[in-house]
Amino acid sequence: MNRYEALLALNTRGKEETIKDTIERLENVLKAEGAAIEQVQRLEKRELAYETDHLKSAYFVNFVFEAAPTAIDKLRSKLKLDNDILLQNYLKLPTKKASAPTAA
């Protein structure tokens, strides 16, 4: 299992009140592919660097999770078909180091 970070830009046009439901649905998609979610960061609505699909802003959410390397390709393919997702980016993170016991 590797640690990953997934940054997703969500299309919120006319759906601002359903962001929470969309994020929960995406968490379930990650879990269905065998991901163990460590952290969900809601980064709020931000302006895009360039207009895409006639949108000037998107709601960004960042997931930190552990998954098998093969899960990333499956997630990328599955989420590419989701109309609520404008952009997706995955980054492999270093493994968490166990904290060293402190001397008393």
Quick one: DSSP state of residue 29? H
Distances (CA, A) of 58 to 14, 38, 63, 79, 87: 12, 23, 16, 16, 9
Per-position pLDDT tens, the chain of length 104 = 899 999 999 998 877 788 999 999 999 999 999 999 999 999 989 998 888 878 899 999 999 999 999 999 999 999 999 999 999 999 999 987 765 566 55
What dotted CATH number matches 2-88? 3.30.70.60
Query: What pTM does this model have?
Result: 0.84
Quick one: DSSP state of residue 1? -
